[in-house]
Amino acid sequence: MSTPLKLYYSPSREDNFTTATAAGERDALSAGYTFVRIEGYSYPSSHANVVPLKLYFSDARGDNFLTATQAGEQSAQAAGYRFVRIEGYVLPNQQPNTVALKTFWSPAREDNFATATATGEQDAVQVGYQFIRTEGYVSSTPTGVVIDLDSDLGANHYMATRGVLTGGGHIDATTRTRTLTWLGGFRGGVQILVNDANDIIIGATQIHTFGVDGTAIGRSDRTDYWSEDLDPQLAARTTGIHVLHFWSPSYQAPANIIGGVSDAVQRGLPAAQAIANIVRGGNSDGK
């Protein structure tokens, strides 16, 4: 399994921000960053011999600093950066089908830039960044994408989906649907949007729906396994996912979600814009 390392950039801050978590994407988008490209693919913690890829942030510089080395951590702490979270995991030594995740630094912009692509390296050098170190090694291609989202849908209703999308396009997932409301149950839906290397939505799974009762009148907490196979041609182009959780009354949400996804695919919308459009139509939560 692997998770895409997505590069975002803020022109106002002149800051490059590479992230592999849903929290990182939300932070980037809320701060006005724009998606640039996928730099590579990080590994899950269960992968053998990996080390954590840690995010630090400088409030004074407005700089995100991604590092997986002791030297990087020491440099961040010495400059007053604070630890934010673990973004993923990388290999400390090169293995087949891996590429180096390199840190570049711009004194003029006070920006640390983590990149694993030739394009990123060329962009950095052209605008005066200096190579600092190799932080570790990441996969150059996806081996499977982790599915992991918890959502608070309001009114004490919750959904959580875990699973994996393999490189062949097979999805294995479990969705937990629960309510803490005494007499009020709800019906929730989950759907996964898939995007290509340019972060454009290119397709989606079916909508899977699950209902629960209030805590006083029936089953208020359930966990369901589900699976699905993407079309092989779609799977071959897929490099990342966005998970949607939403209220699913039979008369409203599914039609809105399906319509929003269809529009995103037909118009070739970037993931952030597509999800924003769908959220307005279906009360969803994206990853």
**CA pair distance 202, 270, nearest whole angstrom:** 10
Q: Which residues pair with 55 in a beta bridge?
A: 66, 85
- Is the pLDDT at 143 greater than 80? The verdict is no
Mean pLDDT of 160-179: 88
What is the sign, positive or negative, of the torsion defined by CA atoms of 60, 65, 71, 77?
positive
- List pLDDT tens digits, range 241-279: 999 999 887 545 666 766 777 787 888 777 777 777 776
Among 39-53, 163-177, 218-232, 270-284, the range scoring the smallest mean pLDDT is 270-284
* Length, in residues, of the chain: 287
User: Sign of dihedral through CA atoms 10, 14, 18, 24?
Assistant: negative
Q: Which residue has the tokens 């921000």?
A: 17
CB 186 within 8 A of CB 249: no
* Spatial separation of the C-alpha atoms in residues 101 and 135, rounded to whole Å: 6
First to last CA, the chain: 17
CB atoms within 10 A of CB 197: 13
Q: What pLDDT sits at residue 141?
A: 77
Question: Lowest mean pLDDT: which of 41-45, 101-105, 106-110, 192-196?
Answer: 41-45
Q: What percent of the chain has pLDDT above 70?
A: 93
**195-216 confidence digits (pLDDT tens):** 888 888 899 999 999 999 999 9
**Bridge partners for 200 per DSSP:** 270
d(CA 138, CA 140) in angstroms, rounded, equals 6
Radius of gyration of the chain (CA): 20
Q: What is the predicted pLDDT for the residue at 191?
A: 93
CA gap 184, 214 in Å, rounded: 5
Q: What is the CATH number of domain 145-285?
A: 2.60.40
- Predicted local distance difference test score (pLDDT) of residue 156: 95
pLDDT at 280 > cutoff 70: no
**With bands split at pLDDT 50, 70 and 90, how would you rate the model's confidence at 112?**
very high
What are the residue boundaries of the structural domains of the chain, listed by start? Answer: 3-139, 145-285
Strand order in the sheet with 3-10: 15-19, 3-10, 34-42, 130-139, 98-106, 111-115
Phi–psi pair at 255, nearest 5 degrees: -65, -40
Given a cut of 80, whether residue 38 has pLDDT beyond it is yes
Beta strands 111-115 and 240-247 are unpaired
Nearest alpha-carbon partner for 265 in 212, 193, 181, 207: 193
